[in-house]
Amino acid sequence: MTEGRLEYLGGERWADDRLVSAAFEAFVDTHHHRLLRSAYLVTGDLHLAEDLLQDALIKLALNWTKLYAEPEAFVRTVMYRDAVSWWRKRRREHPTASPPDRGSGDPAEPAAMRLLFARALDRLTVKQRAVLVLRYFEDLPEATVAQVLGVSVGTVKSQTHSALRRLRKVAPELHELAGLGRST
C-alpha cells in the first residue's frame, strides 16, 4: 500500500494495529467492486459471489501482515480455488427436457448482452468459468492464470479451449451475436 511499510515488532505484532486495519480497509474499499464482479462471473450467482468474496477477504484479513504487499493476487487465488472446491462439493446439475428460456430482449442492448453472456457462463463448469474470467475478463496471461488456479499452463490452455468449444456448442447465440454466424 502507499501508506508505507509497517514496522515489524516480532511474533505477530506490528508497530501500530491501526495502520494494519486502515491499510486493509483501504484495500477493500478500492478493490471490492472489481473482485465482486469477478466472483459473480465465476459463480453466476450474486449471493454465492458475495459469500465467496467475503470468505477470501476473511482469509486475507487473517494473513494481512504477511500478504499486504500482494493482497489482490492472494484474494483472487483464494476466490478461484474456493469456487472450484465448492463446485466439487456440490456437483449438482439440473437436467431439463428443453433448454432454458432465452428470454426476449433486444440483443443490441448492453443489459441484454450481459444477461445472455451470464446465461452462457452458467452452462460451463466452475473451472471453465474461472479460466475464461481470468483469461478474458481479467486479461491475465496463461502463466498467471495457471499460478492463480494452481495448475499447469497446459491445463489452462486445454481448459480455455474446452470452455470456448463448449460455449460455441451450448450458446450459439453468442456466436451469432458477435456477427460471426455459424461456422462449419
Q: Give per-residue pLDDT as tens, 44-98.
A: 889 989 999 999 999 998 888 777 678 888 898 899 888 877 766 665 555 566 6
DSSP string, 71-82: HHHHHHHHHHHH
> Is 13 or 69 the better-scoring residue by pLDDT?
69
Q: Where are the domains of the chain?
A: 7-92, 101-184
Q: Give per-residue pLDDT as tens, 152-176.
A: 999 999 999 999 899 888 888 777 6
Please return the burial class of 180, using the count of CB atoms within 10 Å of its CB with bins 0-12, 13-18 and 19+.
exposed
Look up the CATH number of domain 101-184: 1.10.10.10
* Region at 104 (left for phi over 0; alpha for psi -120 to 50; beta for the rest): beta
**119-124: average pLDDT:** 84
10-46 burial, b for 16+ CB within 10 Å, e for fewer? eeeebeeeebbeebbeebbeebeeebbebbbbbbbee
pLDDT at residue 99, as a whole number: 63
pLDDT over 60 at 10, yes or no: no
